[in-house]
Structure 1
């Protein structure tokens, strides 16, 4: 009798063990399909989720809304528990695919300018020869050297004539244009000849950071020019001044936006004085109502009378913009006595 009871008990234990194995196998199968079990790299939240300070999810850190991005360093799977994701900030979040999804990173919809995550390269000839009609930093240097700068850095006839005389005096080929040889003879450096052209603002936001980080990267770059002089056709390093669209171009670069065919190099070329108009005309920005303006949007202004676009600024919120307007780069009210005719608002980041 005792032997029989022992055999029954053993059979029951085996059955329970088999059931447990089957249950665990089912849970594992469920986990592999419903949870990330290998590092997804970058995730975006699909709905509100809680971040925790520990992998056991006992200590809450913060709650984030949908469309929040995070970089994942590893998947943590404890025995008998659902997997969790460890972020590069040391916080933990659920690995459930119902709450988070794998992504290549923050990005605009395809119809708009795409956010770049490799350093944007200069577009145009680095080390271009400066001729009549050119503007920008090189022209500014040349005009001051030739004594023809009167506050407007456009390579005019007086500068052309002065350069020809300079070339004759120094036994250079007399063209009236400034190539690298003439530039060096004027006492400027070989480094500056290419560095002025090639400057592109470094990227200020990562793929695993969201919309707000990209907006702040753009605005932070613009603030680096604060107080510098207004210089037409200029869009280079924060060592120098810019004009209105030149400031915006470098801000866009920092946020990861390459607004081709508009470029920092071509901004100094004849015919590119009004890149604010080209940016306004671009279909790769979303135009929104003035009442819907948000921090990081571009504000475009038209000239009274002609109603043509003549200015662009970056909206900071609270009815303030950062802009380049004579005489310098500054923070101003969105409307003032100098320019108050707003043509519209263009959204950069979505």
Structure 2
């Protein structure tokens, strides 16, 4: 076994390049290592994860720009400090290879990733009026027998509500407030819970880009098979329309595109939030040939330059989307919509 005094500079350099340490006195290079818990780290270079603090049992090789939550710093006797991750693996504490960070984040010019639950944007418990859409409208029309396959609060629904209010001694407005909602037989709590639903965050600050993409896709799949419902963006127990599905997927990934919101999506004219998402400067637009899993695919209405649809790209030329009659997985192009306007990248 060689004494450290006869180890050449080249050997030391080789060891350092692998995130290893041949020093026997850690204090000699203490400033090069994290000695207090950095909480979250990002790998700056390729590193090795180990099964033990002594780093004799290799677990896996991790590439640059990987994020990890650190549970504690461990300094084995006679060796350099290592970081124990929340998964029980160990990685070098060498600052040349890992960096303390607040967590995964988009560049500042794009939508920032939230790590606290996103709150509803808009009035929770809004009164439903003419030309409103969404889940509450859908439920009202079905209850009053005015459903016509398109859940828009039309004149027939307005007249039916007025007749219902007269019959039950309510103020006759033709609009459905909480009192009328409850009298229609719906629960009081649902008047607000339908509006207030925001998909829970599906990724943490110590997860990287791929985890955030998977959080979006996982949320979208919760709606699969549910009906296409215009202006709708609420719980997975209901249907959505195309942008309503995408908004809940964005929420799950930690992206809040306010003032575009799930609540406002039911307001008159907001069924075309696909256009507002497309127009946002806070997404990075990339060439179609560079599309990646987790990107948003926007479509033109045939024969026009008008955005009329958005879907979530799954890779392998497949998307998950809400398109009549239901939420489903489809080819990126098909006989119903094939004129792709462009690709927006959510996570960069």
Sort the TM-score into its range (normalised by shorter chain): over 0.9
1:158 is matched with which residue: 150, 156, 159?
156
Aligned counterparts of 1:25 and 1:188: Cα–Cα separation in 2: 71
Instruction: Note the 1:25-36 alignment, pairs <5 A.
Output: 27-31=26-30, 33-36=31-34
- Does the CA-based 8 Å contact 2:25-2:79 persist in structure 1? no
Instruction: Note the 1:197-212 alignment, pairs <5 A.
Output: 197-212=195-210
- Does the CA-based 8 Å contact 2:133-2:266 persist in structure 1? yes
Instruction: Note the 1:2-17 alignment, pairs <5 A.
Output: none
* Cα deviation 1:47-85 (Å, max 9, x = unaligned): 000000000000100001100000000000123210000
1:302 is matched with which residue: 292, 300, 305?
300
**Tell me, what secondary structure is at the counterpart of 2:312?**
strand
Instruction: Note the 1:125-274 alignment, pairs <5 A.
Output: 125-274=123-272
Task: Name stretches of at least 5 consecutive residues in structure 1 with no aligned partner.
Answer: 1-23
> TM-score, normalised on structure 1?
0.92
Say what the alpha-carbon RMSD is for the aligned residues: 1.1
**Tell me, what secondary structure is at the counterpart of 1:273?**
helix
Task: Name stretches of at least 5 consecutive residues in structure 2 with no aligned partner.
Answer: 1-22
* Cα deviation 1:93-148 (Å, max 9, x = unaligned): 00000000000000001100000000000011111000001000000000011111
Q: Which of 70-79 and 331-340 deviates more?
A: 70-79
Q: Return the offset for 1:27.
A: 5.0
Residue correspondences, number: 326
Q: Return the offset for 1:223.
A: 0.1
2:64 is matched with which residue: 47, 63, 66?
66
Instruction: Note the 1:31-50 alignment, pairs <5 A.
Output: 31=30, 33-50=31-48
Change (3 A) 1:328 1:25: closer
Aligned counterparts of 1:135 and 1:27: Cα–Cα separation in 2: 65
Task: Name the residue aligned to 1:52.
Answer: 50
Q: Return the offset for 1:37.
A: 0.3
Q: Return the offset for 1:29.
A: 4.9
Task: Name the residue aligned to 1:284.
Answer: 282
Aligned counterparts of 1:136 and 1:318: Cα–Cα separation in 2: 32
- Does the CA-based 8 Å contact 2:40-2:206 persist in structure 1? yes
* Cα deviation 1:256-294 (Å, max 9, x = unaligned): 000111000000001212000000000000000000000
- Does the CA-based 8 Å contact 2:137-2:151 persist in structure 1? yes
Aligned counterparts of 1:233 and 1:85: Cα–Cα separation in 2: 48
Q: Return the offset for 1:30.
A: 2.0
